[in-house]
Amino acid sequence: MTFAATVLTLYPEMFPGPLGASIAGRALREGRWACRTVQIRDFATDKHRSVDDTPAGGGAGMVLRPDVVAAALDSVAEPHPVIALTPRGRPLDQERVRELAAGGGVTLLCGRFEGFDQRLFEARAVEEVSIGDYILSGGEMGALVLLDACIRLLPGVMGAPSSGVEESFESGLLEYPHYTRPVTWEGRTIPEVLRSGDHARIAAWRHAQAETDTRLRRPDLWERHVGARVGSPSGARREKD
Ligand code: SAH
């Protein structure tokens, strides 16, 4: 099955862009995913082909018109989830990426200027997704990030099927640190346990490192990981959030 990516944008030339190279590029050529763009400006109705207007209530910048963006969206016949990239959206995580990759595709709305008219999201059942707590100049880079994360999970895309499973976040923890040759580099030596050949000890060390690093670097993830353990009071509290 081909994963169908449809991207609504004012800059269709940005796609597939970097997704035409490396793993995603090969998957594209193999037909594991397809990338179709829709130029939002083609759905403008006035003689200036305008897609934006001044913000209601005043203030700087311009806002994408809901009628124009909705017309572009309505032209897409795909049955897949519609996601708008916006810093106000739910932060993208590996769980949502996994769900999307398991579906048949996704339709992505890329904002520009100050963003979208909020009524669009209510009128068209659009999910709002953010790729992080910083502001991009447009949704296109966010769409590329989301697609890259999905594409590598599609069947047949990654070389070794196991490499996707141990990755950071898949288990709710950051991944353990990696090392490779040379054994000693600039006076620093690879941890002895990794050179021991003792697979049980290596697995235990990696698990302990993953836990320690997650606790120190990402207390937010650690809290959720601990809370998710069966029977813990903080797990019960999280369920209700
Ligand atoms: N005025 C908006 C930012 C607009 S940035 C605000 O302060 O919330 C212009 C466009 O870039 C947005 O419409 C969105 O599509 C995209 N964008 C910016 N930051 C993003 C982020 N963190 N995640 C996803 N999309 C983002």
Spell out the per-residue pLDDT of the chain, length 241, in tens: 999 999 999 999 999 999 999 999 999 999 999 999 999 999 999 999 999 999 999 999 999 999 999 999 999 999 999 999 999 999 999 999 999 999 999 999 999 999 999 999 999 999 999 999 999 999 999 999 999 999 999 999 997 665 555 678 878 999 999 999 999 999 999 999 999 999 999 999 999 999 999 999 999 999 999 998 755 555 444 444 4
Calpha distance 126→106 (Å, rounded): 11
Residue reference for tokens 């990426």:
97
Calpha distance 128→190 (Å, rounded): 43
Which residue type, as a one-letter code, is found at position 157?
A: V
pTM, 2 dp: 0.93
Question: What residue ranges define each of the domains in the chain, with the CATH number in brackets?
Answer: 3-151 (3.40.1280.10), 167-240 (1.10.1270.20)
CB–CB of 111/68 below 8 Å? no
Q: Which atom, in ligand 1's list, is nearest to the CA of 88?
A: 8
Measure the CA angle with vertex 9, ends 64 and 128; round to 5°. 65
The residues pairing with 38 across neighbouring beta strands, listed in sequence order, are 8
Among protein residues, the one whose CA lies closest to atom 26 of ligand 1: 86
> Which of 8, 10, 83, 85 has the most ligand 1 atoms within 8 A of CB, as the residue to mutate?
85
Q: Is the CB of 130 under 6 A from ligand 1?
A: yes
Ligand 1 centroid vs 141 CA: distance in angstroms? Answer: 10
From the list 111, 13, 12, the residue with the least C-alpha distance to 61 is 111
Which residue stretches of 103-179 are H helix? 119-123, 140-151
Calpha distance 156→170 (Å, rounded): 19
Calculated CA dihedral for residues 199, 200, 203, 208, nearest 10 degrees: -140
Ligand 1 centroid vs 25 CA: distance in angstroms? Answer: 26
Calpha distance 106→109 (Å, rounded): 10
Ligand 1 centroid vs 75 CA: distance in angstroms? Answer: 23
